[in-house]
Amino acid sequence: MKKLLTLLLVIAMMATMVTGCGTKEADAPADGAALKIGVLIYKYDDTYISTVRQALEAEGAADADVELIMNDGQGDQAKQNDQLDILIEKKVDALIINIVDIGAAKSAIEKAQEAGIPVVFFNREPAEDVLKAYDKVRFVGTKPEEAGIIQGEMMAEVWNEGGYDRNGDNVLQYVMLKGDADNPEAIARTEYSISTLNEKGVETEELGLQVANWDTDKAYAAVEAWLGKDAEKIEFIVANNDGMASGAISALQNAGYNSGDEAKYIPVFGVDATEEAVNLIGKGEMTGTVKQDGAGMAKAVFALAKNAAQGKDFLEGLSYEYDETGVSVRIPYQAYK
């Protein structure tokens, strides 16, 4: 009987130890990350957004307390909606969203609110009332008009240096590559670049405007068509981003412009200060761009999202401030030429 009782006691102790070990293992995150933050990117191969994504990934890799779950929306809102649903099912602690279609932000916020998950939008800005519909939503981005203003100031400076009034009428004839028909950044950059030129005393005439959806190839096709029609009239090319500016330069060079001959040079201006644009400016093939700090944006987005994931105030312990909306953090632009 004593032997039987001893055996039963040993078995009971072993079972307790195994159960205890199993519970400890189950409670620990499989990958050791304390916080899971879902990241939805509108399109990985967008030139500027890729710099933000890489900087964001670097922030995550340097923080052992956070796991970033990255998703490429590939420019497809339906695809991004499915990715959002999966992240919510995974019960992530916070969401970082670079929305494909700004009009879909309301639905995304409603889903996040229902799940009680905080959200940081970046770069593509939903309307203020949409952001404020859920108290756990913030936005990190730029002031849409600022890039246009800086671009216009650069263009006025270059124009006033002289040598670009090809027909001598004292009017700057230009073509415009617009990023997106409904995107607030594209609308503001398009409007303020030209209005700033006018405010600086430069009279302008638009020879053409093409919505090229931030795309290099579409910009190339548009500029190629314009050159075939108005090659002797175009004096400046204005692009809402560097990707489209790059496409414009390729089309110009294919037609014999911007390849070292000062007599056949058409100034091209973009936005973002991507590595490619910086190289083109350095070679004298592109005139100027507006630096949008991708690393600075990623740092702010990550910091706000991590705070929110921990249940803290978005700005707790950070040096950022909200603008007049009370929900948006702005990263400043800078001229680059």
Structural domains in the chain plus CATH codes: 35-141+295-332 (3.40.50.2300), 145-292 (3.40.50.2300)
Q: Which of these, 27, 32, 28, 39, lies nearest to 117 by C-alpha position? A: 39
- Region 194-207: mean pLDDT is 98
List of residues 6+ apart from 214 with CB closer than 8 A: 46, 179, 180, 186, 240, 241, 243, 244
pLDDT, tens only, 294-317: 999 999 999 999 999 999 999 999
Question: What is the 3-class SS of 181-230, one letter each residue?
Answer: CCCHHHHHHHHHHHHHHHHCCCCEEEEEEEECCCCHHHHHHHHHHHHHHH
- What tokens does 7 get? 């055996």
Please tell me the distance from the alpha carbon of residue 56 to that of residue 298, in angstroms, as a whole number.
5
| Residue 272, both tokens | 């973002």
Contact 47/104 with Cβ under 8 angstroms? no
Q: Give the chain's mean pLDDT.
A: 91
40-74 per-position pLDDT tens digit? 999 999 989 999 999 999 999 999 999 999 999 99
C-alpha distance across the termini of the chain, in Å: 92
* pLDDT range class, residue 17, cuts 50, 70, 90: very low
Q: How far, in Å, CA of 100 to CA of 77, rounded?
A: 5
d(CA 270, CA 177): 9
Task: Identify the helix (H) or strand (E) that includes residue 177.
Answer: strand 172-178
At 104, the amino acid letter reads A
Alpha-carbon span 117 to 109, nearest angstrom: 9
Entry pTM:
0.78
Q: What does the pLDDT read at residue 262?
A: 83
In this prediction, residue 33 has a pLDDT band, given cuts at 50, 70 and 90, of: low
When pLDDT is cut at 50, 70 and 90, the band that residue 11 belongs to is very low
Span 149-193, pLDDT tens digits: 999 999 999 999 999 999 999 999 999 999 999 888 999 999 999
* Model pLDDT for residues 69-108, shown as the tens digit of each residue: 999 999 999 999 999 999 999 999 999 999 999 999 999 9
State the pLDDT at residue 32.
Answer: 53
Candidates 80, 120, 82; CA nearest to 103 is: 80
**pLDDT at position 15, please?**
43
Q: What is the pLDDT of residue 121?
A: 98
pLDDT bin (cut points 50, 70, 90) of residue 30 is: very low
Rounded CA-CA distance 149/130 in Å is 26
Contact criterion met (CB below 8 Å) for 154 and 269:
yes
